[in-house]
Amino acid sequence: MSLKKIFNSKKFFLFNLTLISMIVGFILASMFYFSCTTGIPPKENIAYAEEQGKEPSLDALKSIQYSFNRVAEKVLPVVVEIDVEETVTQEAPEGGWPWDFFFGTPSPPSEDKNKEKEFKKFGLGSGVIVKRNGKKVYVLTNNHVVGSGEKINIKLYDHRQFKGKLVGRDERKDLALVMFETKDDIPIAELGDSDKLKVGDWVLAIGNPLGFESTVTAGIVSALGRRGGPSENISDFIQTDAAINRGNSGGALVDIDGKVIGINTWITSPTGGSIGLGFAIPINNARRTIEDFIEKGRVEYGWLGVNIGDPIPQMAKEMHLEGVSGALVYDVFLGSPADRGGLLPGDYITNVNGVKIKDSSHLVLIVGDLIPGKLARFDLIRDGKKITLNIRIAIREEEKKVIALKKNLWPGFSVIGITDEIIKELKMKKGTKGVVVGRVEDGTPGYKAGLKELDIIEKIDGRPVEGVIEFYRYLNENRKKKYALSIKRSDEEIEIELTR
């Protein structure tokens, strides 16, 4: 039989098939054998691995516990109790009762029974020992803890007590510094870097909640950069679920290294007790405040001289600012650093000294921390173009004086573009063009010109105002002294003069 016939025969085919099957079977068996011996450990090794898996978990828990122990030992001695006595004057009700029952010994009826009376008000809070100069030891706390207290008592962790004295207080950040004197050894807190905090970081809150001395609670950083809380407070708060209650105010929020990264300040709660929503002032917001208190007795804030806000989505879209973080300048104080430096209404500030501005609240905080007398770089968008200005910052006056300066706000009112929704809401005619006047500040040029809320500015100096961009463009051109405004109020056409 020829080779060709042999190769094509059924017997040879079956022989080859059998041979190939044996070879494949041998290879698979070999693979299985080697994979089993090298990849699957003996039974006793499996048990050993499971036992090893349990041990690290227990050690990890003990490690966390030890960390909390270590932090508590380090920080408890630097957190103090602050007791404040304050004299409060209040009008007494007719008859004197229950006023006299609660606040003093009942006195016989007199002609003065309805006049104001004084009583003692007592407060309790916490504080953190942050610095020492010679015999003077400085304690940082909240402004609302010390209030206008005439008597301040400071009680240390080891129960030593000292008479405290107010060094300085600041309502804008709700911070205060008190001082006591001693030659004794006093532990000083180690301040951390709150800018390095991350959501999820372990933190401990230490203070005297409801009078329970030296209480330690643990939690995490729930959020950063929170706004809100007490009115006029310009801080961006650290939010934590570590239990904070009344009496914790002024106490320390510390990281896992025992470094103070915040001053516990307020909580939000429907019951008045902790529900895991506590807020602390970042320690980096207080560093300069401490030095200002010691050196000057007050905080010197930087002042730019603008009235700012966050544009609503419709306005941001019209001004081509969608997705761009920053703050919109609505008004400029005439004669202020902003005015002298070239800032104009309608400018959108995006960066200050290289710091990206998140929103108007962030800008207030950043400007407040600028050093008065120094030049600061402001990056902004004006009429769709990027511009940089260098402005010399001034010292911010007391709040009463700043409010008195509001008459110098230019132009003294805000505007918004006209949309289909506004046309429908205000029952305007379809196709109405211009801008709608928002809030008008008392005593400002806009107020003196006679502008009112919901007025429609149709023209400036005879030129049609199509929207917000045109309004600010015409208002800022050549920085004129006077502008002729064509106003529509209800169905009435009005001409007014706006004077800078």
Provide the annotated active-site residues.
144, 174, 249
Token pair for residue 38?
A: 């090298």
d(CA 307, CA 352): 16
Q: CA dist 218 to 116, 125, 126, 210, 458, Å?
A: 45, 19, 17, 17, 59
Instruction: Tell me which amino acid residue 389 is.
Output: L
Is the preceding peptide bond at 411 cis, omega within 30 degrees of 0? yes
Instruction: Tell me which amino acid residue 20 is.
Output: I
Q: CA dist 389 to 82, 284, 291, 308, 382, Å?
A: 46, 27, 29, 17, 11
Q: Which residues on neighbouring strands pair with residue 207, listed in sequence order?
A: 215
d(CA 465, CA 139): 57
Reading phi first (left if > 0) and then psi (alpha if -120 to 50, else beta), residue 356 is in beta
* Residue whose pair of structure tokens reads 């045109």 in the numeric block: 470
* Residue whose pair of structure tokens reads 């700012």 in the numeric block: 308
Q: Which residues on neighbouring strands pair with residue 48, listed in sequence order?
A: none
Q: What is the CA 114 to chain-centroid distance, rounded?
A: 44
Beta strands in 256-374 (DSSP E): 260-267, 278-282, 302-303, 306-309, 327-333, 348-352, 355-356
d(CA 165, CA 137): 10
Instruction: Tell me which amino acid residue 32 is.
Output: F
CA angle 285, 287, 293 (to 5 degrees): 110
* DSSP-based three-state secondary structure for 477: helix
d(CA 134, CA 179): 12
